[in-house]
Amino acid sequence: MTAVETRVRQVAIVGRVADELTRADLNPRRYAASLLNHRRQAVQKDDGYFVFADLPGSPPDYQVVLAGRQFQTRRLDVTATGTSMGEVDTDGEDELQVIITAIDAGMSRVSFATVLFLPHIAENAEVFGEGGVVTTLDETLEGVEVDGAVLASLTGLAVDQVLRIVRGKRLLLRPGPYYPFPLSTTVAAIRVVDSLPGSEPISDAAVEITAANGAAVTPVVVDGVTLFRADLPPTPTPFMIGTLEALGTFTNARGDAVFYYAANTPVTSLTLSVTKTGYVTQTTTVAVTAGARTSSVVQLVRS
């Protein structure tokens, strides 16, 4: 009898998930992790971790789906090879992204627009700036009404440049239309509907910010991560929008989408581009009220 040895490569996918607004770890009661077109179930823990174990290494491509009723659904492509555990993380996620408004060389400090509440970022955290600048935090950053950071080095930094201050490698879920926002949050709620009689909601319509207060959105690349900003008139006042996930979203099954900001964010209007296959792209400007929720309806015409 001939003995045949069979080797099957197995891999694991692991990640950690947090609430983008509060930066608190998400437990299994608030979100679910799954693999698109795959029956393997995730093991989820209260500290935000999820694990898919014993996955075939071939084919190597998987899509992780992170979803919760209060959050915007995320889909992340993962390449799993070999037999090791692969951690799902993307640059530009769990960090503070700001625009420098002043520099104090004597204090080795940069100033930025006030963050009303800033969850803990540890001393020695990595900091990336435009033009290849790399430094670290020289003091822990956290608390209420935080408007600056002390850095190990200011070399290469200048006013009006963008900084990325990295907190960790967690994946973030952004609040969706049904998230229990604090009352002071500035919320722009959008509903996209068909222009035909009955105004049926349109799901999976892409809604993207193209301007804020009439100022065009511009991209800035910082250490390989593309961020988006706008310079609000009349001063101008720098406004950090964030990553591509902050710039745009998709409507849910009820046609709802949402953008949200801290109460002190100086945004009074958003210009949005709304697209959906089979419909004519619509550009609309919606009003935004600081510290309150405003609702707007966008009608799409069939093409």
Instruction: Look at residue 37 in the predicted model and tell me its pLDDT.
Output: 85
- Residue carrying the six token digits 């520099």: 103
Contacts of 53 (CB under 8 A, 6+ apart): 10, 12, 40, 43
Instruction: Look at residue 134 in the predicted model and tell me its pLDDT.
Output: 98
- Report the pLDDT averaged over residues 58-64: 78
> CB–CB of 66/33 below 8 Å?
yes
- Report the pLDDT averaged over residues 95-103: 98
Own/partner pairs for 141-144, CB < 8 Å, 24+ apart? 141/96, 141/165, 142/118, 143/117, 143/118, 144/116, 144/117, 144/118
- Residue carrying the six token digits 């209060």: 70
Query: To the nearest whole percent, how much of the chain has pLDDT over 90?
Result: 85
pLDDT tens digits, 103-155: 999 999 999 999 999 999 999 999 999 999 999 999 999 999 999 999 999 99
Q: What are phi and psi of 247, to 5 degrees?
A: -75, -35
Instruction: Give the chain's domains with CATH numbers.
Output: 10-87 (2.60.40.1120), 95-166 (2.40.30), 177-300 (2.60.40.1120)
Structure-model confidence comparison of residues 81 and 78, the more confident one = 78
